[in-house]
């Protein structure tokens, strides 16, 4: 903010009241010329009073612009004498000329009523001191103070938001580390057991091997180790994907895929979890189901997440249903339903948000990122994912994938 102090004559201290003007401009090329024209006009107009013109660039002082609720530039605001007045438009020079005489009369009236204080110096060699003691300086100080308060309020609000975001991230990372350490233990233990068993087979004479230690068993152990290694890799990939955030690109490598075979493979890998809870999984997969155009690893990730959730929330001896429908000529729909507690209606959309967890799930295993990742995967395939749920009656998660076109 810069100021122009314009006074045609030195006044006694009793008349040290000045015309206070604020000129709001932007960085457009003609702004400099507009400032020059207004300065020239103020110097030409007759006045016995000081004139303070403060030029404000709205891009550098947005809080002042907000304080005065500006809607356009250039705008000239008369701060003092009161009442405050706002002039806008391209003809500011002409408007100043029209209002000048009235502004001067108001200043004369205020100057006539001003009574000097004996404690103030009578030497007018320092007009700045007189202006600082005048009502006009108080007006400008009030405006600056209000603008500063607005700015501080905005900064405090922003800092609070940043603080809340950081606290949420710290809590999420703490929970993530705890859950990841817990979930990694199972597949790593399975890989270790498989490798130890294989090592025992290679270090033992063929005649001493148990009869069940066949080439088929060794192949099964190797497959199991590979599967568990992929599970670990998937967990790490999930965490890294969340760390990159929503804005990061989600890469898929779609290909011709037999969705039915993939579903059966995932179900077989989850069989041990299902048996531990004495649950039943019913699979309705048509034999004439068309191939889909999708990334096998990513779709497997979605199936594992949804089925794992279904197993987790379905009670002991409950049932889970996996159904695939050739919904249209262009889409195939997969539905996974459970007999769990269901999801409150107001949360059915929010469960796909990053890190969102229902209050009842705070004590359960999981990162709160699985459904969010499922949504990203399906959207990357130009499909849809949603949930139908009734509290205490279970939930059905549905997603669609595009049919493969040769």
Judgement on whether residues 272 and 394 belong to the same structural domain of the protein = yes
Cα 33 to Cα 39: distance, rounded to the nearest angstrom: 10
**pLDDT at residue 323, rounded to an integer:** 96
Q: For residue 220, is it within any domain?
A: yes
- For the cut 50, the answer to whether the pLDDT of residue 8 exceeds it is no
- For the cut 90, the answer to whether the pLDDT of residue 137 exceeds it is no
Judgement on whether residues 225 and 318 belong to the same structural domain of the protein = no
Judgement on whether residues 223 and 267 belong to the same structural domain of the protein = no
Contact indicator for 48, 9 with CB cutoff of 8 Å: yes
Question: 211-230 pLDDT, tens per residue?
Answer: 566 777 778 788 878 877 87
Cα 325 to Cα 319: distance, rounded to the nearest angstrom: 20
Mean pLDDT of 380-388: 92
> Percentage of the chain with pLDDT > 90?
27
Judgement on whether residues 311 and 190 belong to the same structural domain of the protein = no
Alpha carbon of 147 to those of 131, 133, 183, 238: distances in Å?
21, 21, 53, 46
Q: Alpha-carbon Rg of the chain, whole angstroms?
A: 38
Judgement on whether residues 238 and 172 belong to the same structural domain of the protein = yes
Count of structural domains, the chain: 3
Chain centroid to CA 80: how far? 44
Higher pLDDT, 67 or 381: 381
- Given 244, 269, 301, the domain boundary residue is 244
Q: Averaging pLDDT over each range in 188-202, 273-287, 341-355, which range is the top one? A: 273-287
**pLDDT at residue 290, rounded to an integer:** 94
Higher pLDDT, 301 or 354: 301
Judgement on whether residues 269 and 363 belong to the same structural domain of the protein = yes
Confidence of residue 45 (pLDDT cuts 50, 70, 90): very high
Contact indicator for 149, 63 with CB cutoff of 8 Å: no
SS3 content of the chain, % helix, strand, coil (to 5): 50, 15, 30
Q: For residue 143, is it within any domain?
A: no
Judgement on whether residues 182 and 113 belong to the same structural domain of the protein = no
Q: For residue 294, is it within any domain?
A: yes
**pLDDT at residue 11, rounded to an integer:** 36
Judgement on whether residues 299 and 391 belong to the same structural domain of the protein = yes
Cα 215 to Cα 210: distance, rounded to the nearest angstrom: 12
Q: For residue 138, is it within any domain?
A: no
Higher pLDDT, 1 or 371: 371
Cα 140 to Cα 149: distance, rounded to the nearest angstrom: 14
**pLDDT at residue 125, rounded to an integer:** 43
**pLDDT at residue 120, rounded to an integer:** 47
- What is the CATH number for 383? 3.30.565.10
- For the cut 60, the answer to whether the pLDDT of residue 238 exceeds it is yes
**pLDDT at residue 138, rounded to an integer:** 56
Question: 90-122 pLDDT, tens per residue?
Answer: 899 999 999 999 999 998 888 888 655 544 444
Judgement on whether residues 217 and 90 belong to the same structural domain of the protein = no
**pLDDT at residue 124, rounded to an integer:** 45
Segments forming the whole domain that contains residue 240: 161-244
Q: For residue 154, is it within any domain?
A: no
Judgement on whether residues 93 and 180 belong to the same structural domain of the protein = no
**pLDDT at residue 94, rounded to an integer:** 92
Neighbours of 238 (CB within 10 A): 19
Single pTM value for the model: 0.48
Confidence of residue 70 (pLDDT cuts 50, 70, 90): confident
**pLDDT at residue 18, rounded to an integer:** 85
Higher pLDDT, 361 or 160: 160
- For the cut 50, the answer to whether the pLDDT of residue 130 exceeds it is no
Judgement on whether residues 193 and 309 belong to the same structural domain of the protein = no
Round the average pLDDT of the chain to a whole number and report it.
78
**pLDDT at residue 294, rounded to an integer:** 95
Contact indicator for 377, 299 with CB cutoff of 8 Å: yes
Judgement on whether residues 347 and 370 belong to the same structural domain of the protein = yes
Q: For residue 141, is it within any domain?
A: no
Mean pLDDT of 234-238: 68
- What is the CATH number for 211? 1.10.287.130
Confidence of residue 161 (pLDDT cuts 50, 70, 90): confident
Confidence of residue 129 (pLDDT cuts 50, 70, 90): very low
- Given 214, 244, 274, the domain boundary residue is 244
Nearest-CA neighbor of 306 among 278, 265, 334, 333? 334
Contact indicator for 324, 334 with CB cutoff of 8 Å: yes
Long-range CB contacts for residues 129-133, cutoff 8 Å, separation at least 24: 130/13, 130/16, 131/16, 131/18, 131/50, 131/52, 133/16
Q: For residue 249, is it within any domain?
A: no
Q: For residue 150, is it within any domain?
A: no
Confidence of residue 153 (pLDDT cuts 50, 70, 90): low
């Amino acid at each position: 903010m810069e100021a122009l102090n314009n006074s045609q004559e030195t006044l006694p201290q009793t008349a040290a009241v000045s015309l206070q003007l604020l000129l709001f401009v932007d960085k457009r090329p003609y702004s400099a010329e507009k400032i020059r024209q207004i300065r020239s006009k103020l110097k030409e107009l007759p006045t016995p009073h000081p004139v303070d013109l403060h030029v404000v660039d709205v891009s550098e002082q947005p809080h002042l612009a907000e304080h005065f609720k500006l809607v356009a530039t250039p705008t000239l605001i008369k701060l003092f004498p009161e009442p405050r007045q706002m002039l806008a438009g391209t003809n500011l020079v002409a408007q100043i000329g029209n209002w000048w005489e009235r502004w001067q009369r108001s200043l004369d009236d205020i100057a006539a009523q001003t009574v000097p204080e004996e404690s103030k110096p009578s030497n007018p060699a320092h007009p700045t001191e007189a202006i600082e003691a005048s009502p006009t300086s108080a007006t400008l100080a009030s405006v600056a103070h209000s603008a500063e308060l607005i700015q501080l309020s905005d900064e405090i609000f922003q800092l609070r938001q940043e603080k809340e975001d950081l606290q949420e991230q710290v809590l999420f990372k703490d929970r993530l580390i705890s859950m990841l350490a817990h979930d990694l233990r199972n597949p790593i233990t399975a890989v270790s057991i498989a490798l130890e068993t294989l090592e025992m087979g290679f270090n033992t004479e063929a005649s001493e091997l148990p009869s069940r230690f066949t080439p088929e068993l060794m192949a099964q152990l190797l497959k199991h180790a590979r599967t568990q290694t992929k599970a670990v890799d998937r967990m790490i990939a999930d965490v890294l994907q969340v760390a990159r955030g929503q804005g990061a690109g989600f890469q898929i490598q779609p290909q011709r895929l037999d969705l039915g075979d993939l579903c059966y493979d995932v179900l077989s890998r989850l069989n041990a979890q299902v048996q531990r809870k004495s649950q039943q999984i019913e699979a309705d997969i048509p034999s004439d189901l068309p191939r889909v155009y999708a990334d096998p690893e990513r779709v497997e990730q979605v199936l594992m997440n949804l089925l794992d959730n279904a197993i987790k929330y379905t009670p002991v001896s409950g049932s889970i249903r996996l159904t695939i429908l050739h919904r249209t000529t262009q889409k195939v729909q997969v539905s996974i339903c459970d007999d769990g507690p269901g999801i409150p209606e107001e949360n059915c959309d929010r469960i796909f948000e990053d890190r969102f967890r229902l209050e009842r799930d705070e004590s359960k295993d999981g990162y709160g990122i699985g459904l969010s990742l499922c949504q990203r995967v399906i959207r990357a395939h130009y499909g849809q994912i949603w949930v139908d749920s009734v509290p205490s009656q279970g939930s059905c998660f549905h997603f669609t994938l595009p049919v493969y076109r040769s």
